[in-house]
Structure 1
Amino acid sequence: MAGRKNETERKVAHETVTLTRTMPAPPDVVFEAWRSVEAREIWSVPAPGLAIKFDQIDFREGGLELSRCGPKDDMRFHASVRYSEIVPDVRLIMVEEVSVEGVRLSVALVTVTFAPSDAETRMDFTAQVVALDGSNMVQGYLDGWSGAFANLEAYLKRGDVA
């Protein structure tokens, strides 16, 4: 690929991003907000001016999800997610790769757990991120998912979940 560094010269950084949130709904409702494409198109956009488009969804173990995201007029970031484990209302484990213009920026092992807490859900998110070439993807994971989870909380408070 033109302009791409030799693979042996690419810098690699490993970081773990952890976020814990208490969501205002029981685990089955929170899990449904993750499963539903329509719901995710609403809550997973992390900030105003950004957009996400799901091009392929196969929400099952071994299933592949393809999406694009970024500024509304320049959704150049491509993500592929392979679901490794789906335990309804309990846990999601997935591997996510993010690239731009065919160049891989990061690979992450992502685990999300859902635990009942009274009428709410404790949601723990862990992303073990491998960022390539100083891509700043670790900060991107922290900022992006923090914004998305704030949106998820607001979405659940509105009661929009089917």
Structure 2
Amino acid sequence: MTVKHATFTLERTYPVPPERVFAAWSDPAAKARWFVPDGTHTLDFRVGGTETVDALGPDDTKLSVVSTYHDIVPQRRIVYATTLSGGTALATVSITTVEFEADGDGTRLVLTEQGAFLDSAEQPEWREQGTGDWLDRLGEALK
């Protein structure tokens, strides 16, 4: 039984204003389009609200993601805590901060995640890659 702690930061620049990028995170239909390509998704975007994703992993293991929003500053910042379970085993617990900053006519997004990765059920590099992939899908959705 092991715990691996890791932190990563990803940055993206999108050619649309912060209001539009923030809306892609806060509107349930918009977020489902880029965040969850396969699976079910719910979003109650408010402080204290939750977001859930249920999907199948590469080996058909049921994946369950539950996030709780702790801080929301419109067009500026989102902070949430997340658990990821594979089957019945808790794989990770993390806290994520997403910051939105005007950059000319566009938006610079900075996402920082701090996680506890439990019993090798998930690896930090897998999470970083997956998070980068959905930030890239966000960019495609904003075009």
- Which residue pairs with 1:103 in the alignment? 89
Which stretch of the first structure deviates more once superposed, 130-139 or 28-37?
130-139
- Which residue pairs with 2:101 in the alignment? 115
Q: Secondary structure at the match of 1:89?
A: coil
1 CA distance for matches of 2:74 and 2:12?
Answer: 18
Which stretch of the first structure deviates more once superposed, 131-140 or 22-31?
131-140
Give 5+ residue unaligned stretches, structure 2.
none
2 CA distance for matches of 1:85 and 1:99?
Answer: 23
Normalized per residue, which structure has more strand?
2
- The one of 34, 47, 54 equivalent to 1:68 is 54
1 CA distance for matches of 2:131 and 2:71?
Answer: 20
Q: Secondary structure at the match of 1:51?
A: coil
- 1:75 deviates by 6.6
Q: CA RMSD in A?
A: 1.8
Identity %: 31
Q: What TM-score do the two structures reach when normalised by structure 2?
A: 0.92
- Which residue pairs with 2:40 in the alignment? 53
Q: Secondary structure at the match of 2:47?
A: coil
Does structure 1 conserve the Cα–Cα contact (< 8 Å) formed by 2:6 and 2:114?
yes
- Which residue pairs with 1:21 in the alignment? 12
Larger Rg: 1
Give 5+ residue unaligned stretches, structure 1.
1-9, 158-162
2 CA distance for matches of 1:60 and 1:21?
Answer: 24
Q: Count matched residues.
A: 143
2 CA distance for matches of 1:97 and 1:70?
Answer: 16
Mapping for residues 1-162 of structure 1, pairs under 5 Å: 10-45=1-36, 51-54=38-41, 56-71=42-57, 74=60, 76-157=62-143
